[in-house]
């Protein structure tokens, strides 16, 4: 699978700007929703699952928890691992869906502009049962998508080093791409791999084994692994 969209990954690097009282312009969010989300999702009175799951009551809800919706295996795994939709996780997901949930079926390449995401989330919050989970004012530190300075993305991975480091991954992740119980990590676009690993390193993705493995990987080592796994047959 290739979800390339370097533009989407780059969107992760921008930091959400300070907003005043509200998290965003909900009226603008409604327009954005109509244009970009409504083809697949519905929200508000009478909303139901369509191509995507219903978005009423989204905030505070566990990922993949709408009972009668058929989620991707990847999204179900993230839900089981503990991913819950908060302002921070939604912001990261909308910025680049595949960076947070690798195998999501949502074929949306991401919303780069932070104020647009804030507007969209302000609109969705209006239909949430638990608006208290939304900060009314700009928090002092908002953990959004993985913080990746451009020089981190520009690192050219040392494939031979990656091959050594990858031996550690192969204890669980099979090189032939099997994905029973443990997801496949072969044949990823390097930019996706780098974004995903930094999301674990920064504890945006919830899985404890992966957080531990990523915690000690330097940016060079992540790039090396990305270079290696991109080319495993």
Partner 1 sequence: MKINRRTFVGAAAVSGALLSAPAVLGQTRPRVVVIGGGAGGATAARYLARDSEGALEVTLVEASPVYTSCFFSNLYLGGVRSFESLQHGYGRIGDGVRVVHDMATGVDPVARVVTLAGGASLPYERLVLSPGIDFREGSVPGWSLAAAGIMPHAYKAGPQTQLLKAMVEAMPQGGVFAMVAPPNPYRCPPGPYERVSMIANLLRQSNPTAKILIFDPKEKYSKQALFEEGWGLHYDGMIDWIGPEFGGGDVAVRPDTMEVVVEGAAQKVDVCNVIPAQTAGRIAALAGVTDDSGWAPVHPGDMRSRADENIFVLGDSAAQGDMPKSGFSANSQAKVAAMAIRGALTGSRVFPARYANTCWSLIAPDDGVKVGASYEPTPEKIASVHSFISATGEDAALRKATFEESLGWYAGITADMFG
Nearest residue (CB) to partner 1, 138 versus 158: 158
Nearest residue (CB) to partner 1, 138 versus 220: 220
Cross-strand pairs, 84: 62
Nearest residue (CB) to partner 1, 22 versus 211: 211
> Residue 200 in contact with residue 207, Cβ under 8 Å?
yes
Shortest CB 231 distance to partner 1, Å: 16
Going by C-alpha positions, the residue among 65, 77, 116 that lies closest to residue 94 is 116
> Residue 12 in contact with residue 100, Cβ under 8 Å?
no
Shortest CB 220 distance to partner 1, Å: 5
CA torsion 43-47-52-56 (nearest 10°) is 50
Q: Which residue has the tokens 């932070």?
A: 114
Shortest CB 215 distance to partner 1, Å: 5
Shortest CB 217 distance to partner 1, Å: 9
Nearest residue (CB) to partner 1, 75 versus 95: 75
> Residue 62 in contact with residue 84, Cβ under 8 Å?
yes
Q: How far is CA 184 from the centre of its chain?
A: 17
Shortest CB 21 distance to partner 1, Å: 36
Going by C-alpha positions, the residue among 83, 102, 95, 147 that lies closest to residue 120 is 95
The overall longest dimension of the chain from CA atoms, in Å, is: 55
Nearest residue (CB) to partner 1, 16 versus 100: 100
Nearest residue (CB) to partner 1, 20 versus 167: 167
Counting beta carbons within 10 angstroms of the beta carbon of residue 173, is it exposed (0 to 12), middle (13 to 18) or buried (19 or more)?
A: middle
Shortest CB 191 distance to partner 1, Å: 16
| Binding stretches for partner 1 (CB under 8 A) | 77, 79-82, 151, 154-156, 158, 160-161, 164-165, 167-168, 170-176, 178-182, 208-209, 211-213, 215-216, 220, 224
HSE-CB for 225 with a 13 A CA cutoff: 25
> Residue 198 in contact with residue 208, Cβ under 8 Å?
no
């Amino acid at each position: 699978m290739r979800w390339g969209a370097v533009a989407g990954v780059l969107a992760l690097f921008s930091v959400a700007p300070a907003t005043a009282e509200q998290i965003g312009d909900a009226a603008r969010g409604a327009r954005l929703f109509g244009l970009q989300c409504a083809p697949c999702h519905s929200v508000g009175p009478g909303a139901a699952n369509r191509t995507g799951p219903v978005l009423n009551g989204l905030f505070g809800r566990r990922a993949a928890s709408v009972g009668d919706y058929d989620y991707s295996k990847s999204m179900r795994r993230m839900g089981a691992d503990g991913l819950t939709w908060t302002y921070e996780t939604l912001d990261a997901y909308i910025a680049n869906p595949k960076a947070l949930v690798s195998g999501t079926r949502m074929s949306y390449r991401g919303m780069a502009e932070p104020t647009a995401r804030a507007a969209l989330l302000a609109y969705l919050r209006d239909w949430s049962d638990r608006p208290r989970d939304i900060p009314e004012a700009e928090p002092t530190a908002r953990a959004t998508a993985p913080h990746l300075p451009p020089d981190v993305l520009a690192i050219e991975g040392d494939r031979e080093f990656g091959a050594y480091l990858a031996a550690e991954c192969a204890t669980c992740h099979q090189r032939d791409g099997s994905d029973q119980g443990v997801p496949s990590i072969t044949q990823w676009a390097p930019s996706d791999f780098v974004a995903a690993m930094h999301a674990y390193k920064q504890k945006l993705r919830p899985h404890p084994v992966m957080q531990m493995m990523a915690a000690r990987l330097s940016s060079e080592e992540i790039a090396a692994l990305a270079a290696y796994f991109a080319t495993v047959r």
